[in-house]
Amino acid sequence: LEFRRVLFRSVIMMGPPGAGKGTQATRFASARGLLKISTGDILRDSIKAGLPVAIEAKRLMDAGELVDDATMIAIARDRLLRPDAAPGFVLDGFPRTVTQARALDAIVAEHAAGTLVIIDVLVPSDELVRRLAGRRICSSCGTNAEPFDTGHRCVKCGGEMVQRADDSSAVVLERLQVHQRATQPVLEFYRDRPTFRVVNGAQAPERVALELDAMIDDASAVGAALLKARQSS
Ligand code: AP5
């Protein structure tokens, strides 16, 4: 019931690899006290923990391919239906195929009464390639940092900063093509919804954040009004 009441505070952060989905989802979720759910992070944690599901997932991720829909839908469903997602959530990296988007709609229809806010973070390809080539993450705590040379230390835990396995230039190009092929249709699936918004992600992160906050608040208000109208009709 709790989940039903507040779903209109929930956001899907979409966009190609390197668009800044993770950066903005983390910031927004923490500012609003919402749960951030990153399917990429969940997969990387499963790999670290040596879970059986991770063997095939690692092979696909390292090649820049998508993990299969059934696995991803099960992961998202499990995470979304836990009590800590009830006050609202920010999804980062899910859904990535139209099959996943339909499954998310079904989860929402079954368990909630609200409307999802969908944000597309738009960034030109050459900027995405530049960002991913420069990204370094902590091998120990996963913190994403501004470009450091590999070998520098994490500002949070002192761990070694390394390049993500799928950030090598060949794999980045494959990830961008996979996004175009599999995830662009998801944007078309959502585009006509009154709570769909596009933000210019090719600006300074603080500027993107300001625009995003206003957009999400506006779209959430539209979602809440729709919910109210539906409930009173
Ligand atoms: P995932 O971890 O989701 O990776 P991704 O979508 O490729 O996204 P990234 O994390 O690379 O980029 P981002 O948009 O979050 O940008 P970030 O904020 O980090 O997925 C990895 C793999 O897991 C997939 O390839 C797939 O195999 C699998 N997977 C995950 N979910 C799946 C699903 N649902 N279905 C199937 N498979 C799935 O920023 C990037 C860099 O840019 C950083 O260095 C950052 O500091 C910098 N930056 C951010 N914003 C700005 C800005 N405004 N200006 C300048 N620099 C910026």
Q: What's the rounded mean pLDDT across residues 140-167?
A: 78
Decide whether any atom of ligand 1 lies within 6 Å of the 131 Cβ: yes
CA Rg, the chain, in Å?
18
The residue to which tokens 């039903």 are assigned: 4
Question: pTM of the full predicted structure?
Answer: 0.93
Point out which residues pair with 75 in neighbouring strands.
Answer: none
* Reported confidence tier of residue 149, pLDDT bands at 50, 70, 90: low
59 assigned to active site? no
Encode 2-48 in three state secondary structure. Answer: HHHHHHHHCEEEECCCCCCHHHHHHHHHHHHCCEEEEHHHHHHHHHH
Most confident of 122-126, 136-140, 229-233: 122-126
Distance (Å, rounded) from C-alpha 186 to C-alpha 88?
A: 22
Looking at 9, 136, 175, 197, which residue is catalytic? Answer: 175
48 assigned to active site? no
- Decide which of 80 and 6 is more confident: 80
The helix or strand, by DSSP H or E, that contains position 120, with its residue range, turns out to be strand 117-122
Decide whether any atom of ligand 1 lies within 6 Å of the 123 Cβ: no
